[in-house]
Amino acid sequence: MAEIGRTQSDVQFAQIAAGLIRVDPQVGMIANPQGGVRRILRPCSVPCCPELTPGGRCEFHRRQVQREQDMRRGTTAERGYDADHRRLRILCFQRDRWRCVDCGWEPVIVADFRRFELGDPPTDRILAELRDRHNRKERHLHADHQIPISERPDLRLDLANLRTRCDGCHNAKTMREVCGRDR
């Protein structure tokens, strides 16, 4: 498979040299005369890996790094997210009306039930949508600890310490916390 990728890359180079396709160096894209746009493939950033990727590491090396990080982190139960926490997070979502407290994002089923004044949707259907969205790597909700468990383990199961956040707002808050600790 790597040979096919290299051949495609060689063909792309020849087409660029001949002026058959145009390269936009700002975004690393190539455009052909028919109007199609493709990403330029580059070698994996791990030394000696022959795989071509749109940028960064190849899929194999991305998964390898993720497995290593997951092993260092421990299981969800080891990090404090057990059955008691799963029950508490639902109470947090219900208290915050299934909406991100920062940006107001809510699952589609919740928005539809509100729009058509149907009352509250069944919890199991909302959770199923959130699970599906999480599995497809789309926006979903987190029950975020205002004060992280690492700083105050005694507040792990305190509903007053939880806020509903979408994954984007949750990740942004986490990065602010991490960057603030490093300084």
Distance between CA atoms of 28 and 38, rounded to whole angstroms?
A: 9
Q: Please, what's the b/e burial string for 156-168 (b: 16 or more CB within 10 A of its CB; e: otherwise)?
A: beeeebbbbbbbe
Q: What is the pTM of this model?
A: 0.64
Same domain, 112 and 65: no
On whether residue 136 sits in a domain, the answer given is yes
Reported in sequence order, the residue ranges of 42-171 that DSSP labels E, i.e. its strands, are 42-43, 52-53, 141-145, 162-166
Count of structural domains within the chain: 2
Q: Find out whether 40 and 23 touch, Cβ atoms under 8 Å.
A: yes
Same domain, 39 and 129: no
Same domain, 26 and 108: no
Task: Convert the pLDDT of each residue in 75-105 to its tens digit.
Answer: 888 877 889 999 999 999 999 999 999 999 9
Task: Convert the pLDDT of each residue in 111-142 to its tens digit.
Answer: 999 999 999 999 999 999 999 999 999 999 99
Same domain, 122 and 175: yes
Token pair, residue 138, equals: 């789309």
On whether residue 52 sits in a domain, the answer given is yes
Distance between CA atoms of 46 and 120, rounded to whole angstroms?
A: 50
Q: Please, what's the b/e burial string for 31-54 (b: 16 or more CB within 10 A of its CB; e: otherwise)?
A: eeeeeeeeebbebbeeeeeebbbe
On whether residue 133 sits in a domain, the answer given is yes
Last residue of a domain, one of 51, 72, 93: 72
Last residue of a domain, one of 72, 97, 125: 72
Residues spanned by the domain of 58: 2-72
